[in-house]
Amino acid sequence: MMTFLAILGALALLIPAHEYAHYRVALACGVKVLRFSIGFGPTLARWQSSAGGTEFVLGAFPLGGYVKMLDERAETVPPEQRNQAFNTQRLSARAAIVAAGPLANLLLAVALFALVGWIGVQEPQAVLASPEPGSIAARAGLMGGERVERAGFDAQTLETVQSFGDVREWLSRGALDGKDVTLEVSTKDHAARRGVLLHLSELQSGDMTPELFLKIGLTGPLTQALIGEVQDGAARRSGLRSGDRVLRIGSEPIVDGHQLRERIRASVRDGEPLTQTWIIERLGTRVEVNVTPDLRQDGAQTVGRIGAYVGSNPAWVTIRRGPVEGLWMGVLHTWDMGSTSLKILGKMLMGEASLKNLSGPLTIADYAGKAASQGIVPYLQFLALISVSLGVLNLLPLPVLDGGHLMYYLWEGLTGRTVSPAWMDRLQRGGVALLLMLMSIALFNDVTRLLG
């Protein structure tokens, strides 16, 4: 139910914002709007404006909408109304009407991101978990537990980092742009700062997958190596208790929860569980226990499990911004996410990034439900992200999208000639085919993720 309501709320905000922008700009340009529809299929409600005569329609399936304008290409237009037809407007007016929808989604994203900044958002502190062995971060000398103070592409002009989200943003931008990233890190007491250079330029085109951060080696913020709720299994048999802090496994110091989980998974040798000596801290006292994990199948791999929750929530920091700063950060976040989306799409088209990056309606619905269950701020962030995606998607130069129509108008502006009906039909068919192919890939990725 939560997922359904979250998706319904997103559709009720994002689709009307897009279509209403088309509608208002059309009226401002003197174009007669015949119908403003939210949703498709059977009509649930219908009413007519007494002022402009526009018919407003609410359809049963709120998966889109449209604004139908008076147009000589679609119907016979009385001579006295010809000046109100869309196709008779000057080029700049037609382009403004078409561009209004996606621009409205981008402006809505700015407002939503700004609102999040004004409310204040809790994010994990920029303290690094232990890196994946052999990863870029591990080779750079990171051990886990370091706090990132500043980051950037140029060691001389580093920018302040406020949360782990800022770290991920720098890593994403570096990976997409093929640039090395410098992190200025410190110890827990903010002393002994040093610079660490992550060679993200080493990443290959095939590394641009959802597992990108595994290759970089920084998958999340630091969590404590704590034992949580103990269930039936190896943890209970070994005498582990909720609240135990794991200090060492064998001769290896344990830095955080991520490292502990990986050591438990890897405690298998030749298909048999490996008994190891754990040094734990319990109520201020060090205790030694022998732990023999249970075996579980994870795909084709046999891994260890102990039957207990491992790790803790990361330390959080609240980031709240003032009126002007919040609005400016909304602009920056929208620009960064929009440009990143375009870069990823471009790399996918060039074969430099995996098509696994495409997500479809099932993944979006899943994220919507999870975001809504976490509170208003995560849900607003989700809405902003989807609004950016809709704006960018609709600006793509595909004939069935707003960007395709803008492409026609660019041709008209450069040549002085409109695109011929024959070419428009060919491009329309090709655009539909390409869009259906992308949707099929996205849906396949959704099913693969959910079943995986």
Catalytic residue among 19, 132, 146, 184: 19
Fold of the CATH domain 136-216: Pdz3 Domain (2.30.42)
Q: According to the model, what pLDDT value does residue 189 have?
A: 60
pLDDT at res. 433:
84
**Spans in the chain with pLDDT lower than 50:** none
Q: What does the block give as tokens for 93?
A: 């007016």
pLDDT at 114: 96
pLDDT at 139: 93
Report whether 336 contacts 169 (CB < 8 A).
Answer: yes
Q: CATH number of the domain at 227-310, please?
A: 2.30.42.10
- Mark out the alpha helices in 131-163 (DSSP H runs): 136-139
Active site residue 19: yes
From the list 229, 278, 234, the residue with the least C-alpha distance to 252 is: 278
pLDDT of amino acid 400: 81
DSSP state of 232: T
For the chain, what are the domain ranges?
A: 89-120+322-452, 136-216, 227-310
Q: Which two tokens stand for residue 156?
A: 């001389």
Report the sign of the C-alpha dihedral through residues 58, 60, 64, 70, in that order: negative
pTM of the model: 0.80
CA–CA separation, 139 and 141 (whole Å)? 5
pLDDT tens per residue across span 404-423 = 899 999 998 999 888 888 88
Contact 304, 264 (CB under 8 A): yes
Q: What share of the chain is helix, strand, coil (3-state, %, to 5)?
A: 50, 25, 30
Give the pLDDT of residue 208.
60
CA-based nearest residue to 386, from 5, 15, 1: 15
136-216 and 227-310 have identical folds? yes
Position 191 scores a pLDDT of: 66
Using an 8 Å Cβ cutoff, are 52 and 23 in contact? no
CA 220 to each of CA 185, 256, 259, 305, 374: distance values in angstroms, whole numbers, following the listed order: 16, 11, 11, 21, 18
Per-residue model confidence (pLDDT) at position 209:
63
